[in-house]
Chain A
Amino acid sequence: MRTLDWMVLILSLVTIVGYGLYKGRGSSTIQSYLLADKSLPWWAMGLSIMATQASAITFIGTTGQAYVDGMRFVQFYFGLPLAMIIISATVVPFFHKAGVVTAYEFLEQRFDAKTRLAASIIFLIQRGLGVGLALYAPAVVLSVILGWSERVTVLIMAGVVVSYAVPGGIKAVTWTDVQQMMLIFLGILGAFFAAVWLMPSDVSFGDALFLAGASGKLNAVDFSLDPNNRYTVWSGLIGGMFLALSYFGCDQSQVQRYLTGKSVGHSRTSLIFNAIVKVPLQFFILLTGAMVFVFYQFERPPLLFNKTAETRIEQAGRAGNALAGVQYQAALEQYNEALEERRDAAYRLLEARRNGSPAADPAELRDANRAVDAARREGITAVELAGDGRPYDDTNYIFMTFVTTYFPVGAVGLIIAAIFAAAMSTISAELNSLATTSMIDIYRRHFHRGATDRHYVFIAKSATAFWGLYAAVFAFFGGRLGSLIEAVNLVGSLFYGSLLGVFVLAFGFPSAKRHKYGVSGTGAFTGLVVGEIAILLTSWLTEISFLWYNVVGCVVVVSTGLLVSRFSRS
């Protein structure tokens, strides 16, 4: 980072905070602080929905994922447009008509207070873990890239978000999301064009696509029926649809976005906007990662993208573990040789293609890629030996290493600002929704009813600050949590299915309050609990892709809820 980069970053952060405070002024009632007086246009909500879902790790991790695994991750989003249609057609008018502030308030109208309480607690647990991770994960990467301590990075990110989210409420959060999404779009475009522009002068964009394809990175669509294959068209369309239904239909951090709409039409359109834009956007981000992969076939990539890993090896050497250092050096030599051969193989393949050779054989390049991967794995093994045995994964550092090493001055600052923007847009929406649920579903419902708006707004602001502090503390100790971080990554898939199931019961079936054969509160509550158990058992006992957990959870909750309602009546 050079002076201009720092100026770009600081100016971006200051502008975001200032704009958020300006737009959030005057939020003195619950309707204003939590729902923006239902005044927001579809495009602001649409961009806010997109910004909330696109975290910093989505940005830097997705490009890294394409580098390592190709573009097949795009299939994860195939179900999203279908989910948006369903939510637009059903959930949006239900919520608007019900006049609720939270999604879980609706469950008490349909069923009973215990179902509402159970669902809101599940949300607070799951989103509480999520917001800590949303702060910790990018802080780890950014601290390495910027040379700051993790805690300084965490404090800056949390501090900036809290400074506008607490006073400004949802208006500040949404309008800063709009700004941040613009910055993210700019960052993605800039990264893609830079990756293509930085290729050797004798390698065209078409050549780059050819080499990416020959290396197996342009594997966007897979029609395999294997349920253990994580990313296929089917897991994306079906499993991805259920996940998107859960996230956008039942998670308050998204529901609150479109409850701020000035009409049902505006709320629906904000979701349709995401249905149209999201999949091509993800394709573009993944293609950028594939281009970074091709770039590194001509420029030497580091063996370890996380620079601190080499320090680990040196420390191990000083502590008497010389084996790791020896192994690492051997891997490095092997890696350098493999890189040379891979570059030569890439040029030979391009030459054959330009000469119109009918059978330009990519096997040589594929073998060269395997040799590079094998050498890298040896180096990674050395790092793991030098440490405490924890797995080493530098996927999230690949893109940032590329940016900070090769981008021109100013552009680095722009990309870093875009990553901060991605992190802050997610964190601010999560803090706002956690505070809303804490205040509306827990505090106002169970502890202090009938108070003034001024009191509840104060509680909501305090809750926002509390959750911001909580997220920072979680992130401070994140490094000690080890495998818990991996578990947290699965939290969404472990809880969403049961939440979705209870909302399917709420929207799709009559309530026992109004219909003789409707779903009762006991049925919904029991379904929620049994569905959750089913998901946990599925994750522990099977190897199926996590994208199917939502389907399992939803089906079990709905069937159990209907059965229990039926038999409790008889």
Chain B
Amino acid sequence: MPRDLNDDRPPFLNTWGQLYAAIVVYLFVLIGLFYAFTRAYRISP
């Protein structure tokens, strides 16, 4: 359950900067997973 939200603290992690960094990491993990998915099902002739 997210904490009560106010201007200072994000719903999880301690600072908004940490949350933003986590989202960036999340995005690149997602791209990595999608790339692995693409490679796994790309069948070369």
Residues of chain A at the chain B interface (Cβ within 8 Å): 42, 74, 78, 81-82, 84-85, 88-89, 93, 209-210, 212-214, 218-222, 233, 263-266, 268-269, 272, 275-276, 279-280, 283, 360-363, 366
Given A212-B41, A220-B38, CB of A88 within 8 Å of CB of B31: no
Query: Pick the contact of A42 from B5, B9, B41, B43 — CB < 8 Å?
Result: B5
* Interchain Cβ contacts under 8 Å between A and B, 19 examples: A42-B5, A81-B26, A81-B27, A88-B16, A89-B16, A89-B20, A213-B43, A214-B43, A220-B34, A263-B6, A264-B6, A265-B8, A266-B5, A269-B10, A269-B11, A275-B23, A275-B27, A283-B34, A366-B45
Query: Pick the contact of A361 from B8, B19, B45 — CB < 8 Å?
Result: B45
A275 to B21: give the CA distance in the assembly, Å. Answer: 12
- Do B30 and A82 touch across chains, with their CB atoms under 8 A apart? no
A42 to B6: give the CA distance in the assembly, Å. Answer: 11
A82 to B35: give the CA distance in the assembly, Å. Answer: 19
Query: Pick the contact of A268 from B16, B30, B43 — CB < 8 Å?
Result: B16
- Do B37 and A218 touch across chains, with their CB atoms under 8 A apart? yes
14 additional A-B residue pairs with CB within 8 Å, beyond A85-B24, A283-B34 = A81-B23, A81-B24, A81-B27, A213-B43, A218-B38, A219-B38, A265-B5, A265-B8, A269-B11, A272-B11, A272-B23, A279-B30, A280-B30, A362-B45
Given A209-B41, A221-B35, CB of A265 within 8 Å of CB of B7: yes
- Do B38 and A268 touch across chains, with their CB atoms under 8 A apart? no
- Do B23 and A263 touch across chains, with their CB atoms under 8 A apart? no
Shortest A289–chain B CB gap in Å is 15
Which residue of B is nearest A366, CB measured? B45
Most buried by B among A89, A263, A265, A360: A265
The binding surface of chain A is classed by DSSP as helix
Q: Count residues of B near A (Cβ-Cβ below 8 Å).
A: 26
Shortest A531–chain B CB gap in Å is 28
Most buried by B among A42, A85, A360: A85
A95 to B11: give the CA distance in the assembly, Å. Answer: 21
A82 to B10: give the CA distance in the assembly, Å. Answer: 17
With a CB–CB cut-off of 8 A, which chain B residues contact A210?
41
List the 10 closest A-B pairs by CB distance, nearest first: A213-B41, A265-B5, A218-B41, A221-B35, A264-B7, A220-B34, A85-B20, A362-B43, A81-B27, A221-B38
A362 to B30: give the CA distance in the assembly, Å. Answer: 28
With a CB–CB cut-off of 8 A, which chain B residues contact A213?
40-43
With a CB–CB cut-off of 8 A, which chain A residues contact B35?
220-221
With a CB–CB cut-off of 8 A, which chain B residues contact A361?
45
Shortest A331–chain B CB gap in Å is 28
A362 to B41: give the CA distance in the assembly, Å. Answer: 11
With a CB–CB cut-off of 8 A, which chain A residues contact B30?
279-280
With a CB–CB cut-off of 8 A, which chain A residues contact B19?
272
Which residue of B is nearest A85, CB measured? B20
Which residue of A is nearest B27, CB measured? A81
With a CB–CB cut-off of 8 A, which chain A residues contact B6?
263-265
With a CB–CB cut-off of 8 A, which chain B residues contact A363?
45
With a CB–CB cut-off of 8 A, which chain A residues contact B34?
74, 220-221, 283
With a CB–CB cut-off of 8 A, which chain A residues contact B26?
81, 276
A407 to B45: give the CA distance in the assembly, Å. Answer: 35
A266 to B16: give the CA distance in the assembly, Å. Answer: 12
Which residue of B is nearest A72, CB measured? B38
Shortest A23–chain B CB gap in Å is 21
With a CB–CB cut-off of 8 A, which chain A residues contact B42?
213, 218-219
- Do B41 and A269 touch across chains, with their CB atoms under 8 A apart? no
A233 to B30: give the CA distance in the assembly, Å. Answer: 12
A309 to B24: give the CA distance in the assembly, Å. Answer: 46
Which residue of A is nearest B42, CB measured? A213
Shortest B37–chain A CB gap in Å is 6
Which residue of B is nearest A361, CB measured? B45
- Do A279 and B27 touch across chains, with their CB atoms under 8 A apart? yes
With a CB–CB cut-off of 8 A, which chain B residues contact A280?
30
Query: Pick the contact of B5 from A212, A221, A222, A269 — CB < 8 Å?
Result: A269
A81 to B26: give the CA distance in the assembly, Å. Answer: 9
Shortest A19–chain B CB gap in Å is 25
Which residue of A is nearest B7, CB measured? A264
- Do A265 and B24 touch across chains, with their CB atoms under 8 A apart? no
- Do A268 and B41 touch across chains, with their CB atoms under 8 A apart? no
A360 to B8: give the CA distance in the assembly, Å. Answer: 57
